[in-house]
Structure 1
Amino acid sequence: MQVTETLNEGLKRAYKMILSAKDLDDKVMQKLKDAQPDIELKGFRKGKVPLALIKKKFGQSVLGEAMQETVDGAMSKHFEEKGERPAFEPDVKMANQEWKEGDDVEVELTYEALPEIPEIDLTSIKLERLVAKADDAGVEEALGNLAESAQDFKDRKKGSKAKDGDQVVIDFVGKVDGEAFEGGSAEDYPLTLGSNSFIPGFEEQLVGVKAGEEKDVTVTFPEEYQAEHLAGKEAVFNCTIKSVKAPAAAEINDELAQKYGAEDLEGLKTQIRERLEQEYAGAARAILKRGLLDALDEKVSFELPPTMVETEAKQIAHQMWHEENPDVQGHDHPEIETTDEHNTLAARRVRLGLLLADLGQKAEIEVTDAEMTQAVMNQARQYPGQEREFFEFVQKNPQMRQQMRAPIFEDKVVDHVVAKADVKDKEISKDDLEKAIEALNDE
C-alpha cells in the first residue's frame, strides 16, 4: 500500500493511503484459495470447486474483509515505523466515494499523535508531608460526638409537655369504622416525635401531650399503603401517654463502648485515636499529592493534543455549570461555552494525565485483578441487595472498568514518584491540617 503524508502540523497528522486494484484482487484471490479446500457446492466435491466459481459466489463478501484487513495492517505498520501513538481513535474514510470494483482504493487517515514526554529526575522533586497526631482533646471531642449520636431519653419533669424530638411512651389501639384492626395496637411503644416513623400526621398530634393524658389521634392511611384493606381509610388511634422523655446524650462509659464493638471505654478510645489518625493521614496525602502534581506541572512542558484539551475543557465547563446550577438534573440546557479558565485547567489535567501515564508505563506499574476486584466490591456496597447486578454491569462495561482502574493506577504512580522524591515530614496540629485542607478545596 502506498502511503503519502499530507499534513504534519504540531501533533496533527494526515496521510493518503492507496491500495491498488491489483493488490486488492491478489489479496481476495489468496483468501479464496485458502478457503477453497473447505468449500463444497452442488455438482462439485469438497475442495474441488473451481476458483473462478468461488470468486463469483463469494468474491464480494471477501472483498470488504480483504480491504479492511489491508487498511488495518497498513495503519499498524505505519504507527510502528513512525513510533507514534494516536491520542484518539484515528479517523479513516474512503477518499473516492464513487469507488467500484476494479478501481484503486484511496483512504484518508487523520489523527493527533501523542507527544513525546520528557524525562524527569524524580529525585530532584522536593515535597513536604504533613503529619498530625490525634491528641487527647481530639479523642474526647470525637467521643462526645459518638455519645451525642447514641442519644438516650430521660423522663421530663412531671407535667411537662412533649416537644418535637422528645420520646413519648404510649399504649395505643387503632380503629377503622369503630373496629380495631390487626397490627394497629401496641403497649409501651417508644415513639420519637418528628422521626416520621408513623403514618403522616400521627406524631404531630402528640406534640404538647403530658404523661398520664389520653389522646385520640385521627389520621388517613396513604392511598398506596401496603395493607390494601387500610389504604386510603381514616383511622382513629386511642393513645394513652405513659411518659414523656427528653433526648439526652448517652453516658460515656463501658456500656457506650460496647455499643460500638469495643470491650470497654479505653478500647473505644484506642479505636477512635486510630480512626482519627487514618483520617489525618488521608487528608495529609491529598495535600501531598497536590504538592506533587504542582511540582510536576512546573517541571514539564510539552505540546498537547488539541482535541484532548478541547474535550477536557468542555467536560470541566459542563461539570462546573451543574455545580452552579444544582437544580438542573438533566442535560437539556443551553450549550455551555468554555472560558480561558476552563482551557487552562484542562491543559493542566491533560499534561499531568499524559505525564503520569508515561511514568507509570516506564515503571511497569499495573493494576492487579485483586485491586480491581476490591475496588468493585467497595463500590458495590453502595447498592445493597444489588451487588451481583453491579458486578455483572462492571464486567460487561469496558468504559466503567477503565473509570475504576484510572484512579487506582494514578495513586500507584503517585506512590512510586513520592518514594523517589525528597520528602520531608512536618508535624502540625489537627487545626492546622484542617486549614490546609480548606485552602486546598478553595483553590
Structure 2
Amino acid sequence: MKTSLTKLEGLKRSLVVELPVDTFNQKTERIIKSLASKVRIDGFRKGKIPASILRQRVGGSAKSDAANEIVTETLVDALKDADVSPAAQPSLVNVDTENSNSFIYTLEFEVFPEIKVGSLKSLTMDQINSKVTEEDEERALQDLQDRSTEYKTVKRKSKEGDRLIIDFEGLLDGESFEGGAAEGFEIVLGKGTMIEGFEKGLIDIAPKKTVEVAATFPEDYHVENLAGREAIFKVTVHEVGSPTEVKRDDEFAKKFGEKDFETMKSRMSKQMQVELESRLVQQNKDTAFSVLLDANDFEVPEGSVSAESLKLQQDMESRMEQQGMPSKGKLPAEMFQEEAARRVKLGLLINKIATDGEIKAEKDQVDAKLNEMALQYGESAQQMIDWYNTDPSRLANIESIVVEDMVAKHVADQAKVTMTDKTFLEIMSPQN
C-alpha cells in the first residue's frame, strides 16, 4: 500500500491510496465466479455460461463491487499509513480500475484543526456568588401557602388579598388591542401580577359591578406599541373570593407529599440550595466558555458544523411539535449555522483543555451529578437514575456534562476573576 496526502483549502485533505492491481483483479474474479451459479442467460444452462460471456455480462458490476469492498477493507489502514484522522467519514471521489499496474482510489475529507489554547492566565471574567437566606426560604414557604389558599365566595366589596373572577377589555385611544381582553380571568388583589393601577382600581368593588380602570404599561413592556402607554379597562367583577387561612402545620405538609412540616421545610431548603448551586455553575460556566471562545479563534470543519446545524434544526422542530406548534415545512438550516459553529468550536476547545489537563469524570462525580439532577424528579428520582445507569451512551452524556463543569472551573481558576454577589431571586428569576 502507498498513500499520498495532499492539503487542500482550509481543513480539507485529499488522500490517494495505491494498491497492487492483483488485489483488485483477484477480488473481481472471485465475485464473477460467485455470480456464475446465479446469472441466467438465454441459450445457456444455469452454471454453464462460458467465462468470457459471463465476464462480458457482469464484469462491470463485479469491478464496482470489488472496488467498494477494497475501499472498505483498506480505509482504516490507509488513514493510519498517512497518519491522518478525518473529522467525519471520508468521501470517495475517484476510483481508477483501468490502471494496468495499480488499483488507485482517492478520498477527500476534513481534519480537525490543530488547537493551541491561549494563556488562560491572561483571561479576565466575571463570576457570581449567591446563597439561600432565611428570607428566601420564607418567601418559598409563603408561595406554597399562597398556592394552597382556597377562596370562599362572599357578597361584600373587594379588598386586598381577595381573589376576583373578572371579564375585562382594554382600550387604547378608544380602540381595543391584541391581548387586551379576557373572560373568567382570576386575579388576587395585592400580588402585583398586573400592570400598574389595574389591581388598585379593583379594590372596594362589589360583585356583579362593572367599572372602568386606568392602568399604565411599564416603559420596558415587551409589546413595543403598548410600552409606557395608559389604557382604560372596562372590568366586570363576577365574583369576590375571601382567602381562607392556611396554617403551616403537618396537614399543610401532607398536601405536598411530606410526612410533617419540619421534613418538608428541610427538604425544601436542601432543594433550593441544590437548584441555586446548579444555576450558579451553569451561569459561571457560560461566562467562562464565552470568554474562552472570544480569546481563541480557529477554523472548524464545515462538515461538523453542518451536522450540528441539522441536529439543532431537528431538535427545534421536535420541540415545536411537542408544544403543538408544528413548523410549516423545514426550518432553514442557515438559521442554526452560527450557533452550530459556536458549539463545534467550544467542543474542540473543551476536549483540548481536558486532554492536556488530564481532566476526566470519575464515577463518584458522575453519581453526584445524577443525584443532583434526580432531585427534580421527586418520587421518580431512582427510576431516572436507573434509566441513565442502564445505558452507557446515556451515562456518557452525564460524563460529558461533568467534564464541561470541570473544564469551566479550571479555566476560571486560571483566569483573573471578579466575583459579584447576587441574591437568590436575581439568580433564579433574572427577569425580576
Task: Place the TM-score, normalised by the shorter chain, in its bin.
Answer: 0.5 to 0.7
- Contact 2:4–2:17 (8 Å) recurs in 1: yes
- Relative to 1, partners in 2 of residues 1:382 and 1:63: Cα closer, same or farther, differing over 3 Å? farther
- Relative to 1, partners in 2 of residues 1:322 and 1:262: Cα closer, same or farther, differing over 3 Å? closer
| Aligned residue among 340, 345, 350 for 2:344 | 350
Matched, 1:87 2:122: no
* CA displacement, residues 377-404 of structure 1 (integer Å, 9 cap, x when unaligned): 8679799697799468624xx4x45444
Relative to the length of structure 1, the TM-score reads 0.55
- Relative to 1, partners in 2 of residues 1:425 and 1:152: Cα closer, same or farther, differing over 3 Å? same
TM superposition shift of 1:312: 2.1
- Relative to 1, partners in 2 of residues 1:130 and 1:371: Cα closer, same or farther, differing over 3 Å? closer
Matched, 1:367 2:361: yes
TM superposition shift of 1:353: 1.4
Secondary structure at 1:335 match in 2: coil
| Aligned residue among 125, 129, 143 for 1:145 | 143
- Relative to 1, partners in 2 of residues 1:342 and 1:264: Cα closer, same or farther, differing over 3 Å? closer
Secondary structure at 1:405 match in 2: helix
Structure-to-structure mapping, 1:42-441, within 5 angstroms: 70-79=74-83, 84-92=84-92, 95-96=95-96, 104-148=102-146, 248=244, 250-253=246-249, 256=252, 272-321=268-317, 326-328=323-325, 334-339=329-334, 341-372=335-366, 390=387, 394-395=391-392, 398=393, 400-434=394-428, 437-438=430-431
Secondary structure at 2:105 match in 1: strand
Aligned length: 309
Per the alignment, residue 10 of structure 1 pairs with 10
Question: What amino acid is the match of 1:113?
Answer: V
- Relative to 1, partners in 2 of residues 1:359 and 1:438: Cα closer, same or farther, differing over 3 Å? farther
* CA displacement, residues 160-191 of structure 1 (integer Å, 9 cap, x when unaligned): xxxxxxxxxxxxxxxxxxxxxxxxxxxxxxxx
In 2, the alpha carbon distance for the partners of 1:118 and 1:129 equals: 25
In 1, the alpha carbon distance for the partners of 2:125 and 2:337 equals: 27
In 1, the alpha carbon distance for the partners of 2:351 and 2:333 equals: 26
- Contact 1:126–1:422 (8 Å) recurs in 2: yes
- Relative to 1, partners in 2 of residues 1:317 and 1:268: Cα closer, same or farther, differing over 3 Å? closer
TM superposition shift of 1:350: 1.5
Relative to the length of structure 2, the TM-score reads 0.56
Percent identical among aligned pairs is 21
Question: What amino acid is the match of 1:335?
Answer: K
- Contact 2:370–2:385 (8 Å) recurs in 1: no
- Relative to 1, partners in 2 of residues 1:376 and 1:88: Cα closer, same or farther, differing over 3 Å? farther
- Contact 1:94–1:105 (8 Å) recurs in 2: no
- Relative to 1, partners in 2 of residues 1:357 and 1:273: Cα closer, same or farther, differing over 3 Å? same
In 1, the alpha carbon distance for the partners of 2:420 and 2:320 equals: 36
TM superposition shift of 1:264: 6.4
